[in-house]
Each structure stands twice: as structure tokens, then as C-alpha cells.
Structure 1
């Protein structure tokens, strides 16, 4: 049980770490350039999506969908809370300084990037037939094929 939540915590920390690195790059490398900060933000969302795609691909092969989806949801929720409330404080900004529009836009963009990443990872896994459910069905079909036929007496 501890290993299960450790993996969720490490994933949440990694997602938050990507956000902190992006904020620091924007703060020190491009303090006044809105175009460059937008590109760094886009790269941050792509990296977050790729991390979650890889995680969904890996966890989806080993575990049932309900279990790993819940774990990913917890990790994303924790990372989102840290990103929205703690992330701006790391670079010396107010989390609510940009107004309600920027605050909620940040939440929606983060959720869209994470959902897209998880969806891409799981769809690729399912298309390859390597997800947990497909492997279960394959084992069942093989077992049914190899079982000898029952002899029926009449």
C-alpha cells in the first residue's frame, strides 16, 4: 500500500517540478517577453502531457483501469493544487494576482493537458492490445481453446 501512494506522490512531485522549472525559466530568461513565456508554457503543458501519457501507458498494462485512473486523478489533483497555489509563490508572484480569468484559465489548461496526455497514452496502449483488459481476454480465449472437450454420454 505504501508503494502505491509513493508512486502517486512521485508523479505529483514530477508534474509540479515541471511547472516550477517552467516558471523559473520564464521569470529569469524571459521576464518581459510574452511570446517566449507563452512558448515555454506550451512546452510545459506538452511535457506534462507526455509524462502522463507514459504513466498511463505503463500503469495501464499492469493494473485495471479503475485502479490506475484513480491514482492518476489523485496525482493530477495534488499537482494542480500545488501548481495553482504554490507555484506562483515560488517565483514571487501572487496566485490570484492575474485575476479570476487567469486563475481559472490556468486550471482549465492544466486539466486539458493532463486529460489529453492520459487519453493518448491509454489509446495507444489499447490500440496495441497491451492493456490489462485486452490481456485478460487474450488469456481467457487461449484457456478456452486449449481445454479439452468434454465427452458427453448419451
Structure 2
């Protein structure tokens, strides 16, 4: 059980670290350039989506969807809370300084990036037939085919 929560914590920390790195790059490299800061934010969302695509690909191969989806959701929610509330404080900004519109826009963009990443990873895994359910069905079909057929007497 500890391994399971450790993996969730590592995922949340990695997602938060990506956000902090993007905030620091924007703060020190492009403090007044809105175009560059928008590009860095876009790159951050792409990296977050990529991290979650790889994670869902790896976890989906080993465990049923119901088990890893909950773990992934907890990791994303923790990372989102850290990103929205703690991330701005690390670079000297107020989390609510941009107003309610910016605050909720961060949340929706973050959730959209995470959902897209998870969907891409799981759909690729399913298309390759390497997900947990596909492998179970393959084992079942092989087991049924390897048994001799029962003869029914009438």
C-alpha cells in the first residue's frame, strides 16, 4: 500500500515541479514578454500532458482501469491544488492577484491538459492491445483454445 501512495506522491511532485520550473522561467527569463510567457505556459501544459500520457500508459498495462484511474486522479488533484495555491507564492505573486477569471482559467487549462494526456496514453495503450483488460481477454482465449473439447454423450 505504501508503494501505491508513493507513486501517487511522486506523480504529484513531478507535475508540480514542471509548473514551478515554468513559473521560474517566466519570472526570470521573460518578465515583461507576454508572448514568450504564453509559449512557456503552452510548453508546460504539453509536458504535463506528456507526463500523464506516459504514466497512464505504464500504469494501464499493469493494473485495471479502476485501480490506476483513482490514483491518477488523486495525483492530479494534489498537483493542481499545489499549482494554483502554492505555485504563485514561490515566485512572489498572489494566487488570486489576477482575479477570478485567471484563477479559474488556470484550473480549467490544467484539467484539460491532464485529461488530454491521460486519454492519449490510454488510447495508445488500448490500440496496441497492451492494456490490462486486453491481456486478460487474450489469456482467456488462449486458455479456452488449449483445452480439449468436451464430448457430450446423448
CA distance in 2, matches of 1:53, 1:132: 16
User: How many residues get paired?
Assistant: 154
Q: Where do 5+ consecutive residues of structure 1 fail to align?
A: none
Deviation at 1:151, TM superposition (A): 2.1
Deviation at 1:152, TM superposition (A): 2.1
CA distance in 1, matches of 2:115, 2:86: 22
Deviation at 1:153, TM superposition (A): 2.5
Partner residue, 1:133: 133
SS at match of 2:125: helix
Residues 91-127 of structure 1, C-alpha deviations (whole Å, 9 max, x = no match): 0000000000000000000000000000000000000
Give the TM-score taking structure 2 as reference length: 0.99
Partner residue, 1:92: 92
Residues 55-85 of structure 1, C-alpha deviations (whole Å, 9 max, x = no match): 0000000000000000000000000000000
CA distance in 2, matches of 1:48, 1:146: 44
Q: Where do 5+ consecutive residues of structure 2 fail to align?
A: none
SS at match of 2:130: coil
CA distance in 2, matches of 1:61, 1:54: 11
CA distance in 2, matches of 1:77, 1:16: 11
CA distance in 2, matches of 1:10, 1:129: 27
Partner residue, 1:115: 115
Give the TM-score taking structure 1 as reference length: 0.99
User: In angstroms, what is the RMSD of aligned CA positions?
Assistant: 0.5
